[in-house]
Amino acid sequence: MPKNAIESKSKMWNLWHGCHKLSAGCQHCYVYRGDAKRDIDSSVVAKTKNFELPIQKKRNDEYKIPSGTLVYTCFTSDFFVEDADLWRGEAWEMMRVRQDLHFIMITKRIDRLQETLPADWGDGYDNVTICCTIENQDRADYRLPIYKAAPIKHKILICEPLLERIDLQSYDICSWIEQVVVGGESGYNTRPCNFDWVMELHDVCVENKVSFWFKQTGAKFIKDGKLYDIKRQFQHSQARKAGINLK
C-alpha cells in the first residue's frame, strides 16, 4: 500500500451493505450491531447508492475521489459474500480503471477469492490490498494456507477480534505478509482479549521483521491476569500506550 496515500487522504467506499455471520469472529459483528439500532436487517445484502463512487465525476469532469486516495472498500459487508457475486465484476472493473487510487478490503471469505477474480487479475492488481481476518487457531489453520497461496500483491493479516492465543510460527509470515494487525472485541457482552496473546503475535513479528499494529484493546482486556473494562473511547489509545507497534 503506498505510504503517501495513507498519509494524505482516505475515503470510505461501501458499495454493498449486509452480510451473513460465518465464524466465531462474526458473533458481535459491528454491522449487525449498528443496523439493529436502526431496525435494519443486516442479512439482506444490497447495493448502496455509492456503488459507482470511484468513477463518479464532479461537474468539472474531475473524479469525486481524488488521485492518491486510500479507499476503504466494503466495510459494511464482506467483499466476497455470495450475494454480491453478480455485482463484483463491475467493482473489480472500477478498481482497474482507477489505478491512481489504492483500495483496501478485509475478508473472512478468502476461500472465495479464486472463483471471483477478474480475467486480467494475474498475480494481483498493484492498487489493491486484500486483508484476511483470523480470530482463533482453527480459522488461522483453515484460512492462512489459502491466503498464502492466493495471488494478491498486498497482504495484511488482521487478528481481530483476537479470541484466543494464535500460533503463527509455522506460516513463514516474513515472506508474504506486509503487516499483522491485532485488536480485541468491541461492543456489549464481548469476549476478553489477553495481552499475552497480543504479545505472542508481536514477538513473532519481531522475529520475522514484519510490521505490527496493536490497533485496539477491545472492551474487555486482560493484563497480568487482571480483567479490565475499557470504554470505547479509550480502546485505541490504551493499545497505543502499550508502545509495541513496529513499522
The contact set with ligand SF4 (CB under 6 A) reads 19, 21-22, 26, 29, 31, 77-78, 108
CB closer to ligand SF4 out of 19 and 157: 19
- DSSP tag of 190: P
CB of 81 to ligand SF4, least distance (A): 7
CB of 43 to ligand SF4, least distance (A): 9
- Cα→Cα distances 151→24, 110, 122, 147, 191, Å: 26, 11, 7, 8, 33
CB closer to ligand SF4 out of 25 and 204: 25
The grid cell for 81 is: 459474500
Q: How far is CA 110 from the centre of its chain?
A: 11
CB of 107 to ligand SF4, least distance (A): 7
Q: How far is CA 186 from the centre of its chain?
A: 15
CB of 109 to ligand SF4, least distance (A): 7
- How many Å apart are CA 12 and CA 23, to the nearest integer? 25
CB closer to ligand SF4 out of 98 and 109: 109
CB closer to ligand SF4 out of 78 and 244: 78
CB of 78 to ligand SF4, least distance (A): 4
- How many Å apart are CA 154 and CA 50, to the nearest integer? 25
CB closer to ligand SF4 out of 160 and 197: 160
Number of Cβ within a 10 Å radius of residue 187:
16
